[in-house]
Amino acid sequence: MHIDVRKFDRLPLTSGIGSLPHESAEMAVDFVLNCGVDIPFWPQLPARDWRELMLPQFAEGLPGVIWNEKRRSVHVDTGNGFTDRLAEFFEKALAGEVDAFALSETTAAGYHAFIRRLESGGKRFPVLKGQITGPITFTIGINDLDRMAIFYNGDLREAAIRLLIAKAVTQVNALKKHADQVMIFLDEPALESYGKPGFEGLSHGEVVAVLKTAVDGVREAGAVTGIHVCGNTEWSIVADAEPDIMHFDSFGYGDKISLYPVEMGKYLSNGGLLAWGAVPTFDAITFADAEMCRERLTEYFGNLKERLDDKAVGGQKAPFLITPSCGLGSRNLEETEKAFQLLSELKEQPFK
């Protein structure tokens, strides 16, 4: 599956990643719909409520989940009737009752405000974007009461993957009423730590299998799938999971992709697409300008293109998608506005 680019006048296309610093859901949606991106997205708002942080935001419905207000975190209690709760979860999940696991207004005010605005606006879009926390980040980041990541509990890991897929499917069902295509990204910042402490014993194949299960589940719902990693990682893992789009921080790590010419060549030849996070969302946003972003994009795209054959490149003269390098939930409003202004300037002239 891929985005039908015929519905757009030109490439590259632009989109945001997810999180914004707004405390008002309505103001965040106003910003999204007026910031000039080609692919609007529903905003995650961690500044509004800690429950919109990427782990708790998608934890509602997880069997045994406990919310810790003081620590602003979630964990899982596998005692106290957990077996019954797990069985009840799988009964609903296997019956396809995805609406039972939909994002709530408490954990995703930006999503609900976005849907309400779409319903009242009456406009149809070529593409709309949603997102979920990726299954690796989710299951490595949430622990049980013994401080063991739920990834290592087979039943909980399977439940978590099914939960995330269900939350993606409900987004697809809602967004496709207003768009010709829906894009769902799996956000996987934890993949930056692959091979480091906390990932002991996780094989390449094991991680790929978990990612691919989630990717396939979301794709079956009719969505274009993407995997987003905001740092450097073992990029062959992402390619082997076969998402439709691979998104990376090209401002900070654009030189790393070209170190995988075989894997990238195979991925692109099979129809995969790259999304270049060409505008920084970390401290560099305070001094970066369009020329700096353009120079890096030109250099790194050129480096990759030199190492790939014509079939892999597909004759593209520009990246398919350009975005900020990550979410902007930790930045202020002025920096956020600057990031999208730089994105607009790159869209008009992506290369030096």
In terms of C-beta density within 10 A (0-12 exposed, 13-18 middle, 19 or more buried), how is residue 87 classed? exposed
Q: What 3-state DSSP class applies to 275?
A: strand
In-domain check, residue 22? yes
Give the pLDDT mean for 210-236: 96
User: What pLDDT digit, counting tens, does each position of 135-167 carry?
Assistant: 999 999 999 999 999 999 999 999 999 999 999
Q: pLDDT band at residue 333, thresholds of 50, 70 and 90? A: very high
Q: What 3-state DSSP class applies to 242?
A: coil
User: What pLDDT digit, counting tens, does each position of 165-197 carry?
Assistant: 999 999 999 999 999 999 999 999 999 988 887
Q: Are 5 and 12 in contact (CB under 8 A)?
A: no
Task: Give the position of tokens 């293109």.
Answer: 305
In-domain check, residue 122? yes
In-domain check, residue 79? no
The total number of structural domains in the chain stands at: 1
Per the confidence metrics, is the pTM higher than 0.85?
Answer: yes
Q: In degrees rounded to 5, what are phi and psi of residue 275? A: -110, 125
Closest to 323 measured CA to CA, from 299, 349, 347, 303: 347
Q: pLDDT band at residue 270, thresholds of 50, 70 and 90? A: confident
In-domain check, residue 62? no
Closest to 21 measured CA to CA, from 285, 297, 343, 275: 285
User: What pLDDT digit, counting tens, does each position of 70-111 carry?
Assistant: 999 999 999 989 999 999 999 999 999 999 999 999 999 999
* pLDDT on residue 195: 82
* pLDDT on residue 201: 75
User: What pLDDT digit, counting tens, does each position of 32-64 carry?
Assistant: 999 999 999 999 999 999 999 999 999 999 999
CA 255 to chain centre: 21
Q: Are 226 and 246 in contact (CB under 8 A)?
A: yes
> Domain with 339 in it: what CATH number?
3.20.20.210
User: What pLDDT digit, counting tens, does each position of 248-262 carry?
Assistant: 999 999 999 999 999
In-domain check, residue 320? yes
Tokens of 248: 């990376």
In-domain check, residue 91? no
In-domain check, residue 321? yes
**What does the longest C-alpha to C-alpha distance in the chain come to?**
61
Q: What 3-state DSSP class applies to 205?
A: helix
Q: Are 327 and 20 in contact (CB under 8 A)?
A: yes
By residue range, what is the domain housing residue 235? 5-54+104-142+168-348
In-domain check, residue 92? no
